[in-house]
Amino acid sequence: MKPIPPRRRTRRGARTALAVTLAVGLTGAGALIFANTAQAADTLGGAAAQSGRYFGAAIAPNFLGEAQYADTLNAEFNSIVAENAMKWDATEPNRGQFNFSGGDTLVAHAEANGMEVRGHTLVWHAQQPGWVQGLTGDDLRQAMTDHIAGVAGHYQGQISSWDVVNEAFEEDGSRRQSNLQQQLGDGWIEEAFRAADAADPDARLCYNDYNTDGINAKSDGIYAMVEDFLARGVPIDCVGFQSHLSTDSNLSTYQANLERFAALGVDVEITELDVGGSGSAQADVYRTVTEACVAVDRCNGITTWGITDKYSWRGDDTPLLFDDAYQKKEAYDAVLEVLNSAAASDEPTGEPEQDQALPETFAWESTGELVDQQQTAPDRQLVSIKDPSVVNVDGQYHVYATTADTGGGWSLTYFGGFSDWSEAGDAEQLHLTTTAVGGGYRAAPQVFYFEPDDQWYLIYQTGLPSFSTLDGPGAPESASAAQNFISAHDPIVDEGSSYVVDYWVTCDEANCYMFFSNSNNTFFRMQTTVDEFPGGFGDTQVLMASPGDNGLFEALNLYKVGDTDQYLLIIEAIGASGDRYFRSWTADSLDALGDEWTPLADSESDPFAGAANVSFPGGVWTNDISHGEMVRTNPDQTMQIDPCDMQYLYQGRDPASNGMEYSQLPYRLGLLTNTNPAC
Ligand code: XIL
């Protein structure tokens, strides 16, 4: 099973088992999805899948019995949405009495045919059942959250993305004065998203609207809301652009609008596309929209609002890709061609993405001491907090770190669930000795989401490389007992060495690599296939070696640089006067060994990060910039970072502690923010 391309993002990085199955099913059918082949596909869904996208249609369950309808759907589309069957009036005609018959029919059809399901829509001012319209105040609030819990709960795990809230803005960018807005006030949209998040933590949660086909007052209003939600950690993952268009729609800023939302950190989807018109004029509009989507990495897919003109809600506008007789229209050919060209341009040999580059030299600004150890280990007195591994999922940070104790023992701790680094120090630490991870020698954690198996991993050293699984990044109590990846190291690892430390995993589409170092300044790499992970690690090779030279010391990180084909390798060194700093290299493949890694910023005077290039506006509190990790907003096994927005969580210490026994050094955590991004 190959990993899902980055643009098929999921909430919390967590993809439902169903969605994984579906994606794999499609791979099996066409073998095209992840192959990045330039070979053209001859269906909309197949062509979209080549670049990791879906192509969907709004469906009514009662038409599935019509052979041409079902045949066209099954042949051409790999995603569906209910045109009406999942709306409030259909699913809860009387308060507390749910009717899922239509929606269930669609979900069953999707599952049987390897399609994703979008959910439309949990809360909307229109198509509310009569009983909702008279409700006021908290009664309406309760009805809304009960409805969301009932519907999103019923379909939990089966929906790729939900339109949680539909059409809540006026054309001037203010809130639409619906019963929801008037009765519940501005907070209702946020309340709806939180309720949906609780009911289906795995679905991506979208805000959906129309007349947002460019940068305009309405899309500005939505943009401001999304920005605010993300800043405050309100769970939102995507914005749907309905795109009910005609041949005179002005699409001059259509793509730029998608881009600005994507840049905020949400996915974008074209959710209800239809274009009134015919012939080449209609085809041109479809082409423009499809080109915009495939040009934006975070544009996950396109849904047309129906299959055939015969059943379009827009009556005489003939707005769809198939005519009344299910014949493909000119617009169909345009869309298919663009989808296929996107797949071709995804070839690794495609143009380098200039906008995702690393700087040649680095400059950072550091916080002061941000996080101190809390005495949360029942059985030991802690002296430091070290070696942080950090992900940001749904706007919340989750950190796993090492703690050292007065007895020289190493163990692990967790803190997280905050959305602003100013809260990091106060976040309660949960010591992993209180979980199944246990209290023996455990250090240097790395946390990540292994997307192919929908499983979170915490890996760490116990001498050998070990791991626990987690239910989620913020669920340390769910950790399983430590298991070893391998039963023994290859003998070359122990040559001239007294210990092995700092295991690190990075995967590409086919393989997972595990990196580590020994006490003889030698770095190694083992590998397994993505299919076999966490099993199968072997084939130990030397990555880099400089025995006796502390310029190649420990604490390796290895990241994929954005959407480029470049990898960034970081290794900690000990400098001339004993201070810790990081060196860096790049390569175009995880397969690279030795000289195949090109030095980037790799000296104490020109480091990746060290005393030479870190400024401390609040005063210097450490001379060491030591073992840590880049803040990852894509938490999956590809270890992808955004070079345009880098932060590095590190360990530092009061220089007055120089000379103390190593295990007793009072390491604390601080955060670096890159101040000279190249993009
Ligand atoms: C439309 C359906 O297509 C019609 O069958 C129904 O009568 C009214 O709703 N924006 C939306 C969709 O979000 O739910 C609407 O669907 C079209 C406009």
First to last CA, the chain: 34
Residues 6+ apart with CB under 8 A from 6: 52, 297, 563, 634, 636, 638, 640
Tokens, residue 38 = 């330039």
Q: pLDDT tens, 606-624?
A: 999 999 999 998 999 999 9
Q: What is the pLDDT of residue 353?
A: 41
Q: What is the pLDDT of residue 411?
A: 97
CA–chain centroid gap for 132, Å, is 36
Half-sphere exposure of 565 (CA within 13 A, CB side): 11
**In degrees to the nearest 10, what's the CA dihedral of 413, 416, 422, 427?**
-60
* Distance of alpha carbon 17 from alpha carbon 25, whole angstroms: 12
Distances in whole angstroms, Cα of residue 68 to Cα of each of 84, 273, 335: 21, 21, 21
Q: Please state the three-class secondary structure of 229-274 as a single string.
A: HHHHCCCCCEEEECCEEECCCCCCCHHHHHHHHHHHCCEEEEEEEE
Ligand 1, atom 4, lies closest to the CA of 313
Q: What spacing in Å lies between the alpha carbon of 244 and ligand 1's midpoint?
A: 10
Ligand 1, atom 7, lies closest to the CA of 313
> How large is the C-alpha radius of gyration of the chain?
26
Q: Please state the three-class secondary structure of 281-335 as a single string.
A: HHHHHHHHHHHHHHHCCCEEEEEECCCEHHHCCCHHHCCCCECCCCCECHHHHHH
At residue 207, the 3 state secondary structure works out as strand
Q: Give the single-character DSSP code of 56.
A: E
How many Cβ atoms sit within 10 Å of the Cβ of residue 563?
17
Supply the DSSP string of 499-523, one letter for each residue.
-EEEEEEEE-SSEEEEEEEETTSEE
Counting as low any pLDDT under 50, the low residues of the chain are 1-37, 347-354
- Identity at 678, one-letter amino acid code: A
DSSP H helix total and E strand total for the chain: 14, 31
Q: What is the pLDDT of residue 346?
A: 54
* Distance of alpha carbon 628 from alpha carbon 86, whole angstroms: 46
Q: What is the pLDDT of residue 638?
A: 97
Polymer length of the chain = 679
Q: What spacing in Å lies between the alpha carbon of 288 and ligand 1's midpoint?
A: 23
Q: Is 166 in the pocket of ligand 1 (CB under 6 A)?
A: yes
Distances in whole angstroms, Cα of residue 459 to Cα of each of 474, 568, 647: 15, 20, 22
Tokens, residue 130 = 């009569």
Q: What is the pLDDT of residue 40?
A: 87
Which residue has tokens 């009514």? Answer: 60
Ligand 1 atom nearest to CA at 58 = 3
- DSSP-assigned beta bridge partners for residue 34: none
* Distance of alpha carbon 146 from alpha carbon 507, whole angstroms: 41
Q: What spacing in Å lies between the alpha carbon of 118 and ligand 1's midpoint?
A: 14
Task: Please tell me the chain's helix, strand, coil percentages from 3-state DSSP, rounded to the nearest 5.
Answer: 30, 30, 40
At residue 592, the 3 state secondary structure works out as coil
Best residue among 166, 270, 305, 310 to mutate for probing ligand 1's pocket (most ligand atoms within 8 Å of CB) is 305
Q: What spacing in Å lies between the alpha carbon of 468 and ligand 1's midpoint?
A: 47
Question: Packing angle between helix 279-295 and helix 330-345, nearest 10 degrees?
Answer: 20
Q: What spacing in Å lies between the alpha carbon of 82 and ligand 1's midpoint?
A: 10
Q: Is 242 in the pocket of ligand 1 (CB under 6 A)?
A: yes
How many Cβ atoms sit within 10 Å of the Cβ of residue 357?
17
Which residue has tokens 């934006």? Answer: 296
Is 167 annotated as catalytic?
A: yes
Distances in whole angstroms, Cα of residue 355 to Cα of each of 359, 396, 564, 642, 676: 11, 26, 9, 10, 14
Is 272 annotated as catalytic?
A: yes
Q: What is the pLDDT of residue 345?
A: 67
- Of the residues 76, 92, 269, 272, only one is catalytic, namely 272
- Identity at 46, one-letter amino acid code: G
Q: Is 313 in the pocket of ligand 1 (CB under 6 A)?
A: yes
CA–chain centroid gap for 618, Å, is 33
Among 188, 334, 131, CA closest to 247: 334
Contact 560, 638 (CB under 8 A): yes
- Of the residues 167, 191, 369, 572, only one is catalytic, namely 167
Q: pLDDT tens, 632-641?
A: 999 999 999 9
Q: What is the pLDDT of residue 342?
A: 87
Distances in whole angstroms, Cα of residue 648 to Cα of each of 71, 316, 568, 619, 665: 52, 57, 14, 18, 21
